[in-house]
Amino acid sequence: MTIDNSPNIDFRALPKIELHAHLSGSISRQCLHEVWLKKKQEMEAANEVMDLQDPLVEMPEGKHDYDLNTFFPLFSKYIYRLVDTRWALTHTTLSVLRDFASDGVIYLELRTTPRALPQAGLSKADYVQTILDAITQFEFEQQQKQQTSMKTNLILSIDRRNTLPQAEEVLALAKQFHNKGVVGLDLCGDPARADIAHLAPVFQRAKKEVPGLGITLHFAEAESSGSDQELDMLLSWGPPDRLGHVIHLSEGIKEKIARRGGMGLELCLSCNVKAGMIRGGGSFEDHHFGEWYKVPNCKVTLGTDDVGVFGSPLSNEYALVASHFGLNRAEICALSRQGIDVIFGGEDEKERLRRLMWAE
C-alpha cells in the first residue's frame, strides 16, 4: 500500500534515519535481475546450466505477501545462492545504498549476517570488508556529486540458528571491524528457532570486549519468540540498546521496557502487516506503533526491514503513520528526530543529524 504525500510534507524529501534494514532483503528485484543476467551469461559461456529462475519470475513485481513461512526460505534457497560472488555483493550493496539515499535517508545502519562465499574464495571477514569497501565507494560517489551525504554504518547479525562458535566468530568480526564501519551486533533469524540461551555469553561479553559496540535484538517478532522467559533473558543481554519489532509481548515486559527509559524501538509497519505478524493478522490501524508512540520513555524509529521483499521505502512508512495514526507535520518531524538519540554512530554523527533533520 502506497500513500500519496500529504500537502503539508514531502515524505521523500524529509531527512530520515533508517536503523532496521537487512542488506539482502533490501535489494530491489531489478538489481537481483541484473545479477541473475550476469550469472546466466557466465554460466552459459562455461557450458553450465542456470538452475535459478529470473528474480522477476521468482519474485514478481507486486508480490509482497510473504509470511514467516515463505520469507526465510526466499533467502536460503534463492537470494543467497544468487548473490555469491564479490562482484554480486558489491553491485547489490551499491544498489541498496543508492536506493536509500534517493529516498531521503541521511543516516543508515545496514545489517547483515556474515557469510563465507567459498565459490568466490571469500571468508566471512572478506564478506564484511567487501561491504565496507562498497560503502566507502558510495560515499566517494556522493562527494563527487556534491550531494547531501548519507552516512552508512554496518551491524553484524548473529542468527538464532547459529552455534556458540559461529556466534563467537561474528563477535570477533565485530571487534576486528569496529571503528572501521561496524557499529553494532544484532540477533536475527527465524523466530521459530526457540532455543537461543546458548548465545547469551556472546551478547553478555560484547560490550566488555568491544567498548562502544551497540546491541540490537529482534524481539517478540512472533508468538513463538514472545514468551516472558525468552524476553526477560534477552533484556539481560548486554543489556540491549534497541529492540526490533516488539510485537508479541506481555504487559509485564512492556512495563519493563518503558521503565528502562531511552530504549530504541525499531518498528516496521509494512513488514509486520504484509507478513501477517500483527496479532490476529491486523491492519495498519492495528499496528502497535500507535501504542509505543505514546510511551514517553521510548525512542520509536521507523524501519523498512526488507524493502526489496515488502516494497515499502522509508518515505512510505512515514506516510503510513501520518495517514493511519493522524500525525501532523510537526509530529512527523519529531518522530524522525527520535532516532538521533539511539543511533550507534557516535556523538559527532548525532550532532550532524541534529543540524540536518527538520525540526518542523
**Model pLDDT, residue 149:** 86
The proportion of the chain whose per-residue pLDDT surpasses 70, expressed as a percent, equals 98
pLDDT band at 37 (very low <50, low <70, confident <90, very high): very high
pLDDT band at 60 (very low <50, low <70, confident <90, very high): confident
**Model pLDDT, residue 6:** 53
Q: What is the mean pLDDT of the chain?
A: 93
C-alpha–C-alpha distance, residues 56 and 52, integer Å: 11
C-alpha–C-alpha distance, residues 169 and 114, integer Å: 9
- Each residue of 110-125: pLDDT tens digit? 999 999 999 999 999 9
3-state secondary structure of 195: coil
pLDDT band at 2 (very low <50, low <70, confident <90, very high): very low
Tell me which residues are annotated as active site: 221
**Model pLDDT, residue 13:** 96
- Each residue of 165-207: pLDDT tens digit? 999 999 999 999 999 999 999 999 998 887 899 999 999 999 9
C-alpha–C-alpha distance, residues 6 and 323, integer Å: 9
In sequence order, which ranges of the chain are alpha helices (DSSP H)?
29-45, 55-58, 68-74, 80-82, 86-102, 124-145, 164-177, 200-209, 228-235, 251-260, 269-274, 289-292, 307-310, 314-325, 329-338, 347-356
- Each residue of 61-75: pLDDT tens digit? 888 888 878 888 888
**Model pLDDT, residue 281:** 65
**What sign does the CA torsion over 303, 306, 308, 309 have?**
negative
